[in-house]
Amino acid sequence: MSHVFPRHTKYTLPMVTRGEGVYLYDQAGKQYFDASGGAAVSCLGHGDPDVIDAIKTQLDAIAYAHTSFFTSDPAEQLAEKLIAHAPDGIDRVYMVSGGSEAMEAALKLARQYFVEIGEPQRRHIIARKQSYHGNTLGVLAVGGNEWRRAPFSPLMVETTHISPCFEYRGKQAGETIFEYGQRVANELEEEIHRLGTDAVIAFVAEPVVGATAGAVPAVEGYFKRVREICDQYGVLLILDEVMCGMGRTGTLFASEQEDVRPDIIGIAKGLGAGYQPIGAMLCSGEIYAAIENGSGFFQHGHTYIGHPTACAAALAVLTKLTDGGLVQNCATIGDKLQDALQLAFGQHLNIGDIRGRGLFRGIEIVQDRETKRPFDPSRMIHKSLKKEAFNAGLACYPMGGTVDGVSGDHILLAPPFIMDESHIDEIVSKLTTTFAKVL
Ligand SMILES: Cc1ncc(COP(=O)(O)O)c(C=O)c1O
């Protein structure tokens, strides 16, 4: 009998025993194509020798030292490399152990920034419906996914949520794509007015929405308008790139494609590529200066921040993503994957939309293509899809609640950047089998 507290008590899971490239193997020797990278984590696939070597070398030197006593070479080098590739104005890196921690640090830093610069009356965070920013209480409150929030709502700090930028679901007839983006961006301004024009700390958004809606990029002009509004009211723009960052959408930072300047960015997942648990919060030089010239310290911290072994792994990952050309491969092969999915399933009666960027793709399942009506949530279509795909040897990431947190189903695909064209055929053929069984 197991003493592990599992994610779900009703399922018996196979035991994973090894990974090699794009494949995972269970104890019975069954092979699975890892088309979800866990949850958009394993961007380098499994068993990467360079990352493993970097970890071993670091373990031989020093595994861990507390950041109140020491800095470390891998932390310094990782920060330098991240900043060299980060959007303009981003100047400092605070390393944590995962995505929720990165976003918690982002929220606390944003609040402390205003305390430091003498605007302590700023107390509201605005985020978007159908977003996910992590599972710890602070970021769970900021996330806009009703199903995840509901049981814990009495414990949550008040956050308000505006509409997401979700063209397939939100654009009205008679509205251009650009007009739609401006309309939903302008909800931010309305919300700032409602809360008080000097009372808002930050707006938080995922540049490409991940798990909750299935790889949904914003439309052109949306983030530019958001930035304008933030500038007008002195509100910080916090971009959550925990899932969509680190090359996943075809550029190292997803926000590069929006041509927008964030004040704070959260990253994780692909940063460690699964070889070590690591995330980071990056902030602008201006925010850092407010702390440096004010109290002198960020009132935050965890035991494992700046963990040398985790940083060494992340540095090796980042080197492969950038100097090794894997982000570029992700962009190129990602376009080909989109074309193949479109060709295979673009006319499928139960597939409403195929979207995303790079190797971050979403397939939205509907009961009726014409009306976009989703399946009845009680049918749990996403669960059957996950099960049948897994049986077919494909690990993908289906989820429900795509439309409003309750109804709707989608499949998220986030395969490793090392995949090649033959793997596209494998994904398409295993999805074909899956759809034939479930839809
Ligand atoms: C956009 C986004 N933010 C934050 C998180 C939380 O990250 P973690 O699970 O590493 O705490 C996730 C995880 O899926 C995510 O997708």
Chain segment 105-131, per-residue pLDDT in tens: 999 999 999 999 999 999 999 999 999
207 located within any domain: yes
Q: Is the pLDDT of residue 1 over 90?
A: no
pLDDT in tens, 365-416: 999 999 999 999 999 999 999 999 999 999 999 999 999 999 999 999 999 9
Task: Please report which residue ranges of 21-121 form alpha helices under DSSP H.
Answer: 37-40, 49-61, 73-85, 99-116
Q: Which two tokens stand for residue 245?
A: 């960052």
* H or E segment to which residue 238 belongs: strand 236-240
Task: Please report which residue ranges of 281-438 form alpha helices under DSSP H.
Answer: 285-292, 308-321, 326-345, 381-391, 421-438
Could you tell me which residues are beta bridge partners of residue 356? Answer: 361
Q: Please indicate, yes or no, whether residues 316 and 353 belong to a single structural domain of this protein.
A: no
User: Cα–Cα distance between 365 and 426 in angstroms, integer?
Assistant: 20
Cβ–Cβ < 8 Å for 272, 97 = no
247 Cα–ligand 1 center, Å:
16
What are the strands, taking DSSP E only, across 87-163?
90-96, 124-128, 160-162
| pLDDT score, position 259 | 86
147 located within any domain: yes
Q: Where do we find the tokens 């985790």?
A: 310
Instruction: Give residue ranges with CB within 6 A of ligand 1.
Output: 39, 98-100, 103, 132-134, 206, 210-211, 240, 242-243, 268
User: Cα–Cα distance between 204 and 165 in angstroms, integer?
Assistant: 13
253 Cα–ligand 1 center, Å:
16
Tell me what the pLDDT averaged over the chain comes to.
97
Q: Please indicate, yes or no, whether residues 146 and 203 belong to a single structural domain of this protein.
A: yes
Q: Please indicate, yes or no, whether residues 350 and 420 belong to a single structural domain of this protein.
A: yes
222 located within any domain: yes
| pLDDT score, position 146 | 84
370 located within any domain: yes
Domain count, the chain: 2
| Portion of the chain with pLDDT greater than 90, in percent | 98
Alpha-carbon distances, residue 364 vs 77, 156, 218, 284, 392 (angstroms): 40, 30, 16, 36, 20
> Could you tell me which of 67, 17, 34 has the C-alpha nearest to residue 310?
67
Q: Is the pLDDT of residue 296 over 90?
A: yes
30 located within any domain: yes
* H or E segment to which residue 362 belongs: strand 360-365
CATH of the domain at 358: 3.90.1150.10
333 located within any domain: yes
**Residue 60 pLDDT level (bands cut at 50, 70, 90):** very high
Q: Among the three residues 255, 290, 322, which one is the final residue of a domain in this structure?
A: 322
Closest ligand 1 atom to 131 CA? 1
Question: Which domain range does residue 343 map to?
Answer: 16-48+325-438
Residues 260-281: what's their mean pLDDT?
98
Q: Please indicate, yes or no, whether residues 307 and 329 belong to a single structural domain of this protein.
A: no
Q: Is the pLDDT of residue 215 over 90?
A: yes
Q: Please indicate, yes or no, whether residues 250 and 341 belong to a single structural domain of this protein.
A: no
| pLDDT score, position 147 | 84
Q: Please indicate, yes or no, whether residues 80 and 173 belong to a single structural domain of this protein.
A: yes
Residues 261-286: what's their mean pLDDT?
98
Q: Which residue's C-alpha comes closest to atom 16 of ligand 1?
A: 243
Q: Please indicate, yes or no, whether residues 312 and 351 belong to a single structural domain of this protein.
A: no
> Could you tell me which of 304, 291, 316 has the C-alpha nearest to residue 102?
304
Q: Please indicate, yes or no, whether residues 39 and 82 belong to a single structural domain of this protein.
A: no
Q: Which residue's C-alpha comes closest to atom 5 of ligand 1?
A: 134
User: Cα–Cα distance between 55 and 312 in angstroms, integer?
Assistant: 6
Rounded (10°) angle between helices 285-292 and 99-116 = 60
1 located within any domain: no
Q: Which residue's C-alpha comes closest to atom 8 of ligand 1?
A: 99
Closest ligand 1 atom to 139 CA? 4
User: Cα–Cα distance between 326 and 318 in angstroms, integer?
Assistant: 10
Alpha-carbon distances, residue 384 vs 37, 45, 410, 422 (angstroms): 19, 25, 12, 26
pLDDT in tens, 164-177: 999 999 999 999 99
Q: Please indicate, yes or no, whether residues 380 and 267 belong to a single structural domain of this protein.
A: no
pLDDT in tens, 123-157: 999 999 999 999 999 999 999 988 889 999 999 99
Pick from 100, 278, 281 the residue to mutate for probing ligand 1's pocket: most ligand atoms within 8 Å of its CB. 100
Q: Please indicate, yes or no, whether residues 106 and 22 belong to a single structural domain of this protein.
A: no
Q: Please indicate, yes or no, whether residues 285 and 421 belong to a single structural domain of this protein.
A: no
Q: Please indicate, yes or no, whether residues 207 and 337 belong to a single structural domain of this protein.
A: no
User: Cα–Cα distance between 237 and 195 in angstroms, integer?
Assistant: 17
Q: Among the three residues 268, 298, 322, which one is the final residue of a domain in this structure?
A: 322
Q: Which two tokens stand for residue 293?
A: 């010239």
Q: Count how many residues are written for the chain.
A: 439
207 Cα–ligand 1 center, Å:
13
243 Cα–ligand 1 center, Å:
6
- pTM listed for this prediction: 0.98
